Structure 1
Amino acid sequence: MTTLHNTLEKHVADGSMPGAVGLVALDDRVEVAAVGSTDFGGTSPMARDSIFRIASMTKPVTAAAVMMLVDDGLIALDDPVAPWLPELASPTVVRTPVGPVDDVVPAVRAITVADLLTFRAGYGFPSDFSLPAVALLFSELMQGAPQPQHVAAPDAWMATLSRIPLLHQPGDVWLYNTCSDILGVLIARVAGRPLSEFLAERLFEPLSMTDTGFEVPAGKLDRFTGYYGAGPTDGPELVDAPDGQWSSPPAFPSGAGGLVSTADDWYGFARMLLAEGTFGGHRLLSPASVRRMTTDHLTPAQRAASTLFLEGQGWGFGGSVDVAETDPWNVPGRYGWVGGTGTAGHLVPSTGAVTILLSQRAMTGPTPPPLMRDFWRYAAGV
């Protein structure tokens, strides 16, 4: 009989990763398995409360924080972002995506909050990373593999971003990643305090996400996992040790991929969304905001043009949404996302199911690795 434990253990036993934690929940039934070790050296056994770099599983959390500000009446989805992000008040767009970055035209309209939430603001990654305007996101803004200690502080980061043209006109095309980092700056400026403080007060504390943040305190480093390279030629090369880049606060708290967390912490976040914004008797988000987060906002053409990152899924706010006619996993309505550090978190509003996978081996690209696919197959059969 296949179990969650042996589904994960197979990938630890073949040496592809040191360990993993998986969680599969439906209603009150929760199955958790922790296998292997926190590092390839076998220093400490993996545990349910081991802490991982969750990378792009950060994105739904950031989107939820934006929707809190919408619920508060401080911003609206149709609002231009320029009052809070003046660096984006007069964006320019490359005349053609393959063209030079100095051949630009004005944006035909302002960038809105909704553009950022749906990843259609004009900034981000297409299928071709070599395009001149995209290359600047890597070279100037450190977009890509998370390196929190190497990124400039938010004001300096935004000043640099303002000098990089959009790849497409606002609203036209779905582009990956960069919008979540911009949203992190937007949250801080609208709230009038650092992103880390806002998330701690409005999300992490009410949800008892005690191990989630942009750094791991010294007293918790014994539970923090190592992080390893992606492909067979890289590993088991250690990319970041527990006392490395997440052991101190970053200058730029990345709303796209900067959080560390545990399976149970992210499960609490998922449970809040499944309960239409309520947790422990307290309302954190309005039901309308949760529905907007977990509803696909892309056109068929936009989905079709985004196949490098989306396997037929649509996109809500901060996460993908499986669309019935193109869903590769046969879970219509599933919302969530994967992280490049080997993580994945999803929930299905129609059934109440939650699946969370945390591992320590970097993905080789946007395509989910074998461990992730085996985990999803197991969860689909539970």
Structure 2
Amino acid sequence: MSTGGFSKARLDRMHDIMAGHVERGDIPGLVTLVSRRGEVHVDAIGTKVAGGAGGPVRRDTIFRIASITKPVAAAAAMILVEECKIRLDESIEPWLPELANRRVLKSISSRLDETVPALRAITLRDLLTLRMGFGSVMAMPDTYPIQKLIREYRIGGDGPMLPTQATGPDEWLRKLGSLPLMAQPGERWMYHVSSDVLGVLIARVSGRSLGTFLRERIFDPLGMKDTAFHVPPEKIDRLPVFYFFNRQANQLAVFDGAENSAWRQAPSFESAGGGLVSTIDDYFAFSNMLLNKGKHGREQILSRAAVELMMADHLLPEQRKGAEIFFGGFSSWGFGAAVDIRRHDVFNTPGRYGWTGGFGTTAYTDPAEDMIGILFTQRMMDSPEPPKVFTDFWTLAYGAME
């Protein structure tokens, strides 16, 4: 039986397999959304608290979406580009003087005083493509000298962090500016930190807080009423408990509660790299805007050209070197999110744009298939490689297409 964009029987298979992850106790609850040719299917399974307490996960459950915040911030930056308030290849130093006159480590293993001058300034394009020269170090803690200060300064990119653990943006940027870069600007892709710098840049260029700018220019126009950097008291009952897998105890353990959540209050640092909370329908509104080339109803949030630029591949193979655990040889990076560049699995359509969040979320927009898929869970990822529930979801979503 066909429902238009999807096979009904195969959507039923998706439900059964997703429900299996919940029934086995891998994940307390989850919400899936698949959309194709204007047809939308949403499925909410499980509970907000492990063991069945707290009530069922629902379509309006508010999830901590982590790194799928990144494409939202990229869209915000492109709004400023289209208003000519900042340009892609301009230095960011007039707005972020803390990052002027950069020094660069001679090698990742160098002492912090073993540096050379940066060959050029960091640009907005570097931030959007995560090529500012600073980011996650994919090595065991304290393998290299710079890792100690990254952890001590809470710069980010070296593991999950609660919003209550961060300093304010000015202090955060000052600490970042006291450290050398790990690569020359534009030289190679390094995860995460560029996105948080981008958030500070958006705030300073716009003259508003990042949260205010996102609300005024993206969330309100798209009707994303539940997306923000914190959850107000009247909505806190819709926030599930958030878990990580404790390997020593071999069971799920609480990383962030609900009633006492770190997202209960506005954070001192609004992280463009991973700080938002959202619902499945809110994030679908954002994804659908991208699929519609920047349009939402009669509103043009971004131009078609801006969206196409966001969703293009902006990395050379040598710039991806060392990031194989993120890209796997079949994916690359656009502005704020990954872009599939070759068919590797059933769901890797060239041009598919999106990302995964370390707090158990994944969302991609596929222009070639006129398709959007979103999965929200409340379990932290165990590694940069996607968990089975993610790969199962994408396999089932693409397998359900007519």
Match of 2:267 among 235, 238, 250: 250
Number of the residue aligned with 1:322: 340
Deviation at 1:135, TM superposition (A): 4.2
**2:151 is equivalent to residue 138 of structure 1:** yes
**For the Cα contact (< 8 Å) 1:311–1:328, is it kept in 2?**
no
Which residue of the partner structure matches residue 34 of structure 2? Answer: 24
Q: 1:109 and 1:325 mapped to 2: Cα distance? A: 36
Query: How far, CA to CA, are the matches of 1:237 and 1:223 in structure 2?
Result: 20
Question: Which residue does the alignment assign to 1:286?
Answer: 303
Deviation at 1:237, TM superposition (A): 1.0
Structure 1 segment 217-296 matched on structure 2, within 5 A: 217-233=232-248, 235-243=251-259, 244-296=261-313
CA distance in 1, matches of 2:81, 2:148: 33
| Closer/same/farther in 2, CA of residues 213 and 175 from structure 1, 3 Å limit | same
Cα RMSD after superposing both structures: 1.5
Q: Match for residue 104 of structure 1?
A: 115
Q: Is the 8 A contact 1:133 1:166 kept in 2?
A: no
Paired position in structure 2 for 1:357: 375
Q: Which residue of 1 aligns with 2:22?
A: 12
118-127 or 269-278, larger mean C-alpha shift:
118-127
1:338-353 aligned at under 5 Å gives the runs: 338-353=356-371
Residue 331 and residue 190 in structure 1: after superposition, are their counterparts in 2 closer, same or farther (change >3 A)?
same
Give per-residue Cα distances to partners, 1:64-87, cap 9 Å, x unaligned.
000010011100000100000000
| Aligned 8 A contact 1:355 1:379 in 2 | yes
Letter in 1 for 2:304: P
Q: Please tell me whether the aligned partners of residues 343 and 349 of structure 2 are also in contact (alpha carbons under 8 angstroms).
A: no
TM-score (norm 1): 0.97
Q: Read off the aligned partner of 1:355 and give its amino acid letter.
A: G
Whole-angstrom distance in 2 between the partners of 1:134 and 1:74: 35
Matched with 2:164 is 149
Distance 1:318 1:135 in 2: 27
2:6 match: none
AA at the equivalent of 2:194 = C
Structure 1: runs of 5 or more not aligned: none
Are 2:155 and 2:193, in contact at CA under 8 Å, matched by a contact in 1? no
- TM-fit CA distance, 1:132: 2.5
For the residue of structure 1 that corresponds to 2:160, the secondary structure is coil
- Residues 26-59 of structure 1 show CA distances to partners (whole Å, capped at 9, x for unaligned) of 0211111100001104221010110100000100
Contact 1:119 1:177 (8 Å CA) reproduced: yes
In structure 2, distance between residues paired with 1:295 and 1:126: 26
The 1:180/1:190 distance shift into structure 2, 3 A limit, reads same
Contact kept? 1:127, 1:308, Cα under 8 Å: no
- 1:140-168 superposed Cα distances (whole Å, 9 cap, x missing partner): 12513031011000101110000111100
Q: Indicate conservation of the 8 Å contact 1:134/1:167, yes or no.
A: no
- Which segment drifts farther, 360-369 or 295-304? 295-304
1:78 aligned counterpart, secondary structure: coil
The secondary structure found in structure 2 opposite 1:230 is strand
**Following the alignment from structure 1 to structure 2, what is the Cα–Cα distance between the partners of residues 240 and 109?**
41
Q: Percent identity?
A: 44
Quick one: distance in 2 between partners of 1:237 and 1:185? 33
Structure 1 runs of 4+ with >4 Å offset: 325-328
Which of 180, 184, 196 lines up with 1:181 in the alignment? Answer: 196
Q: Match of 1:160, SS? A: helix
1:37 aligns with 2:47: yes
Cα deviation 1:240-297 (Å, max 9, x = unaligned): 0113100000000000000000111000000111111111211111111111110111
Measure the CA separation in 2 of the matches of 1:138 and 1:318.
24
Q: 1:5·1:33 contact (CA, 8 Å) conserved in 2?
A: yes
Partner of 1:379: 397
Letter in 2 for 1:62: A
AA aligned to 1:241 is G
Residue 325 (structure 1) shift: 5.9
1:158 aligned residue (141, 148, 173): 173
Select the residue among 64, 69, 89 that pairs with 1:58: 69
8 Å contact from structure 2 (residues 188, 321) kept in 1: no
Separation (CA, whole Å) in 2 of partners of 1:102 and 1:361: 40
Structure 1 residue 7, shift from structure 2 partner: 2.3
Compute the displacement of 1:329 (Å).
Answer: 3.7
Between the aligned partners of 1:134 and 1:62, the Cα distance in structure 2 is 26
Letter in 1 for 2:360: G
Q: Which amino acid aligns with 1:266?
A: Y
Q: Is the 8 A contact 1:36 1:45 kept in 2?
A: yes
Shift of 1:105: 1.1
The answer to whether structure 1 residue 46 and structure 2 residue 57 are counterparts is yes
Task: Give the aligned partner of residue 3 of structure 2.
Answer: none
Q: Which amino acid aligns with 1:356?
A: I
Aligned residues: 382
Q: Structure 2: where are the runs of 5+ without partners? A: 1-8
TM-score by length of 2: 0.92
Q: What amino acid is aligned across from residue 163 of structure 1 in structure 2?
A: S
Does the CA-based 8 Å contact 1:58-1:256 persist in structure 2? yes
Q: Which residue of 1 aligns with 2:353?
A: 335
